[in-house]
Amino acid sequence: MKPVASPFVPIREGNALAELPTDVIDLWFAFPDEISDERLLSRYEQLLTDEERTQWRRFYFARHRHQYLVTRALVRSTLSCYADVAPPDWRFSRNAYGKPEIMPGLTELPIRFNLSHTDGLVLCGVVLRHDLGVDVEYRERKNAALNIAEHYFSAREVDDLLKLPASEQKNRFFDYWTLKEAYIKARGMGLSLPLDQFSFHLDGNRPPGISFDERCADDPRHWQFWRIKASEQHVAAVAVKSSANMGLSMKKVVPLSGATAFDCELL
């Protein structure tokens, strides 16, 4: 199934805030290469804090600077769909491993979010209350290889990769990689959580499952995962810790401009 593009509509109708049911994860996909309107980009610039502007100017390559700007505009304008806080007014704290959360006191809504960016795609996932992790990867990146898997993945995942025909290994590698990153991002611990202590189980007919070895104190029953084909070149994964059955709502967005339903293929 190809992603369906319908006309872009304004993200917020008047002053109405978007409703986020407790059992839904909103996924907002932005494609930086499709955003070049100078007036829009200068509006993005105005959303940056002084610290973000300093960081933005530090990027050596224009492509990275552009991606940073779209990312900041995406997270700020997206969060403002749900709560009466203007995009430039969002402030964030980070945990000891760098995971950003909304600064306490800005809104009473228990909004959580997670971000991921790769060449050509930025994803912002939003949910109420639950621990959420998202990851996107560009499948054409050069360092996708079995030796990365052998170094970082669990023995079970490496075995599974080696059993596949060479033509299928790259896609499976990115499935594992994005799922593993989404999980460690949901846990908020980054790479301090060794990637070989848990394994994903991929069976085309079922959503991805997880198992943990004795070093990783966690329970597979608490987790739900998705793999998403976001474009021909991009794969995404989502991890959420929730005992309720969660659903995804996917949108393609141009920050501060408009959004459209984004009917991506679940892998």
Of 8 and 88, CB closest to ligand COA: 88
Please tell me whether residue 97 binds ligand COA under the rule CB under 6 A: yes
The candidate with the shortest Cα–Cα distance to 37, out of 257, 260, 252, is 257
Only segment of 82-90, 93-101, 209-217, 236-244 that touches ligand COA (CB under 6 A)? 93-101
| Least distance CB 207 / ligand COA (angstroms) | 20
Kindly indicate which of the ranges 45-53, 185-193, 229-237, 254-262 contains the residues binding ligand COA, using the contact rule CB under 6 A. Answer: 185-193
How many residues of this chain interact with ligand COA, rule: CB under 6 A? 23
Q: Which is nearer to ligand COA, 11 or 195 (CB)?
A: 195
What one-character-per-residue DSSP string does 45-103 give? HHH--HHHHHHHHH-SSHHHHHHHHHHHHHHHHHHTTTSS--GGG--EEE-TT--EEEP
Using the rule CB under 6 A, is 190 a contact of ligand COA?
A: yes
Q: Is residue 253 a contact partner of residue 29, using CB atoms and an 8 Å limit?
A: yes
Nearest of 147, 119, 112 to residue 133 by alpha carbon: 112
Nearer to ligand COA, 3 or 100 (CB): 100
Residue type, 107: T
Q: How far apart are CA 152 and CA 181, in angstroms?
A: 11
d(CA 250, CA 226): 12
31 lines the binding site for ligand COA (CB under 6 A): no
Q: Which of residues 37-66 bind ligand COA (CB under 6 A)?
A: none
Nearest approach, Cβ of residue 175 and ligand COA (Å): 11
Which listed residue (71, 80, 169, 224) binds ligand COA by CB under 6 A? 71
Residues 6+ apart with CB under 8 A from 59: 65, 68
State the binding string over 109-128 for ligand COA (x if CB under 6 A, else -).
-----xxxx-----------
Segment near ligand COA (CB under 6 A); pick from 78-86, 108-116, 201-209, 224-232:
108-116
x-marked contacts with ligand COA along 152-181 as a string, rule CB under 6 A: x------------------------x--xx
150 CB-near residues (< 8 Å, 6+ apart): 158
CA distance 57 to 96: 26
Token pair 């995962």 in the structure block, residue: 225
Query: Rounded CA gap, 43 and 165, in Å?
Result: 48
Q: Does 78 bind ligand COA (CB under 6 A)?
A: no
For binding to ligand COA (CB under 6 A), which residues are involved? 71, 97-100, 114-117, 133, 135, 148, 152, 177, 180-181, 184-185, 188-191, 195
